[in-house]
Structure 1
């Protein structure tokens, strides 16, 4: 039997993720959408699978919150931007915090690729060239766009330039989330963004 969330000891890192007041329903909707998009960016850049995400949960002692593929799938399906295929659930604050820690852990593991991609983006921008002309960025942008269009409700309707802009913003964000205290930076950005 799976332990209840109240019985689960909270990781010390949760202390770095303050919350003055619980987010309302709309804030949680915004938070879970953004978390799923960041995971999509990580998947697109590094080819990460759900297995890698579950391994990160294990390494962070978060198995009681996110311990199997079904739980992870249901959390990701809770993104209101996704095409409905059932299994949606409400995301609670502990699950959101857990996803923040997992994302930042994975971003640290993928820091070399993230830095290389960001350096290429800077180089291409300075040279006035399209980012997709660099192989690493081109693959990332293609993977992100294809997966977004496949999974998200508005995927078919969104303009290609908007998707590229979103993918590049998330890539730059990952650079910061993989740094020291990245989990705190991401959490504060989510809380701030959740209010809008």
Structure 2
């Protein structure tokens, strides 16, 4: 990282009622500014990759929220949608700024869904490597092609084509596939030793 991340403790009364699982992720000192648009975009894209991996992903996300006792932060599908619309690439961008508590909640949600999907994720990453070694198109592997197709469909339907970077992805299927594959690797990274903490810190690389 370009600068060291400043970790702060937070024992104020308003935080003592937070779900215990949030304590797994350290508080990052952002001087009260909240998360940057870039961080918000990265978190939403991770969840977009989760949605491309499994049918009924939204329902499974909400079930995971309930399981982890995070319903005071994400009480409903609409609340989850609103948090994800803090991604400036979205058509429905709300210009909201995620608090650290909200960002932690979304990252934990992505990591726990990634853990459940780890066998599939590993299979797809192995398939990617095999396709590259054989110099074959990714579409030659049915399950990998299915993931990429779903990701592209979600991206096209939800992201704002007037954003320069979004437009660039929409004009190049290969670049959009590479984005989907990079997010797949990040999801697998979440499942490793200290993966949750490491993916959390990686979001702030160069931000502090």
- TM-score w.r.t. the length of structure 1 is 0.87
Change in CA separation of 1:89 and 1:98 when aligned onto 2, cut-off 3 Å: same
SS of 1:62's partner is coil
Q: What RMSD, in angstroms, separates the aligned Cα atoms of the two structures?
A: 2.2
Residue in structure 1 matched with residue 52 of structure 2 by the alignment: 44
- CA deviation string 1:116-170 (max 9, x = no partner): 1111111111111121210111011111111101110135552212111101101
Q: Identify which range, 17-26 or 58-67, moves more after superposition.
A: 17-26
Map of 1:127 onto structure 2: 134
Equivalent in the alignment of 2:202: 189
Does the CA contact (< 8 Å) of 2:190 and 2:198 recur in 1?
A: yes
Q: Unaligned regions of 5+ residues in structure 2, if any?
A: 1-12
After TM superposition, give the deviation of residue 66 of structure 1 in Å: 0.9
Distance 2:144 2:95 in 1: 32
Kindly report which structure 2 residues correspond to 1:1-196, keeping only aligned pairs within 5 A, or say none.
Answer: 6=14, 9-22=17-30, 27-84=35-92, 89-154=96-161, 155=166, 157-158=168-169, 159-192=172-205, 194=207
CA contact (8 A) 1:30 1:193 kept: no
Cα pair 1:42 1:48 within 8 Å, conserved:
no
Once the two structures are TM-superposed, the CA of residue 18 in structure 1 deviates from its matched residue by: 2.0
Following superposition, the deviation at residue 20 of structure 1 comes to 4.0
Whether the 8 Å contact between 1:75 and 1:88 is mirrored in structure 2 is no
Given that 1:8 and 1:64 are in contact with CA atoms closer than 8 Å, whether structure 2 keeps it comes out as no
Deviates most, 7-16 or 144-153? 7-16
1:30-68 deviations in whole A, cap 9, x for unaligned?
Answer: 111111101111111122432211111111111111121
Task: Give the alignment's TM-score, normalised by structure 2.
Answer: 0.82
Q: Which runs of no fewer than 5 residues in structure 1 stay unpaired?
A: none
